[in-house]
Chain A
């Protein structure tokens, strides 16, 4: 008798839902071979229900929801969501201030959209290689290893959150500190970018052990 290990309430034949409206408005001719196969498969198989965090409106963004979930403590999504919206508001305010103070020729270079700033900042924070512990002959070596996309995004978000929770002034609130860090990361400055560079340097220093990796 075998027992389910890490199960889900859905049958394994259920597929993930696709919420983006624009993909449905594309006519059939424009799709590639693989996409046509996917469409055929979707027409036959049952599909899971859309989770409550996801919506087809322009305001829902998968990266932002992931970040809010990581910021959430003991299931308090309301608080996390409000902190996130306050952060985005704070970024917008700071950028608008800068925009109004800047001279005419620089006004076009200043980015005011907080979502764009968030995405760019995260991309700047993502490390390219990481280190992993491999034990050979009793000794553990730190071996440089290429990271997957998910892992990069996770590390960038984790560093942002830990940075904002620890290295701040006692009375400074989370949205303020987060907006500051995001703006610094957008300009490739700040402690998180420094952490990323330190990791890259460590990986470069341990280049000699790169052949220990077998995957």
Chain B
């Protein structure tokens, strides 16, 4: 399991709902916004640019030019930002002059979370009622599947920012379970707008990997290169077409360089997956790492080189077989107070 390491500054205070007198009043923030806008126009005037079209990037550049600072911490340098970014969002006082709280769930401690859960459950009951009505009338239930692949739920931090309240892991999980239950019902399309509030688009395949075209050497044989790495080993592979299936590593044949069967299997894995064992020749160079790391690096390099020889569909198959991802596993560091990365010192009673 993975637990979060950081939280936003707005929520780190303990009792956000029951905080003391407001540090920033509404009037104060309005004044700050006015001053910011005025200052922005002055700055634009100073820099000789148009005050109407002065963006935040221009502000940052202007401040960096007028107040150069050599401080290492970027947060410590002079900055001019919109007050909404500088002063974190805070909850207004939740109770009136007589001391009575406004929200009916104030005394639960996490009023926005529980009110959210109540709302979601209400929507669920609505959907079920609608379903029952449809069944009563005998009409078929709609089953249009939402495109689950392009979206993800809000993370715990984003939900905390939305509710301005601290949540625990359990609370967050319960909320996600409830909303998944809502989505799983067939007639959930009615509450689509409500669900959209808690969805986020995942930028699917932002990096469309460019497959390089084949290059041709002097004899007219097509070849392509690829680079791979694994732990500390770095490898480059050149795959030639119309070959016999010979593989050379650092000028040495693989039978001599990799005496272990497992490494040779790894080298041949991409070729075997694409059914092209006897068709290509390969010349590779590798340095660093150990025997298994070098084999993994060459495997990645050859898979990357083979992409140019193969159709897009097969490239997708290679990716799903795990041949094209860089293995991020490295040796874990040794920690102080322990003998190794995980092993602790022998515990002695006295």
Chain A residues in contact with chain B, CB under 8 A?
A: 1-7, 9-10, 12, 17-19, 21, 24, 37, 40-50, 52-53, 55-57, 59-60, 77-78, 81
Contact = CB atoms under 8 A, between A and B. Distances in A.
B265 A57 contact: yes
Contacts of B319: 47
B317 A4 contact: no
11 contacts: A1-B6, A2-B3, A2-B5, A17-B323, A43-B149, A46-B325, A49-B325, A50-B322, A52-B262, A57-B269, A81-B262
Pick the most buried of A18, A21, A49, A56: most chain B CB atoms within 10 A of its CB. A49
Nearest to B329: A9
Given A2-B4, A56-B273, A10 B328 contact: yes
Contact of A52 (B204, B266, B272, B320): B266
Pick the most buried of A1, A6, A56: most chain B CB atoms within 10 A of its CB. A56
Interface string B270-299: 001100000000000000000010011000
B322 A3 contact: no
Q: What range describes how many residues of B lie at the interface?
A: 35 or more
B195 interface: no
Interface in B307-343: 316-317, 319-323, 325-330
A80 to B, nearest CB: 11
Contacts of B222: none
A19 B321 contact: yes
B217 to A, nearest CB: 30
Contacts of A6: 1
B99 to A, nearest CB: 35
Given A19-B321, A60-B265, 7 more contacts: A40-B148, A44-B149, A44-B202, A48-B322, A49-B300, A52-B266, A59-B265
Given A44-B202, A47-B320, A52 B295 contact: yes
Nearest to A7: B2
Contact of B269 (A9, A10, A56): A56
Nearest to A42: B320
A59 B272 CA distance: 12
Interface string B252-266: 000000001110011
B214 interface: no
Nearest to B261: A81
Nearest to A24: B317
Contacts of A43: 149, 316
Contact of A55 (B1, B149, B269, B300): B269
B266 A55 contact: yes
B213 interface: no
Contacts of B273: 19, 21, 56
A38 B322 CA distance: 16
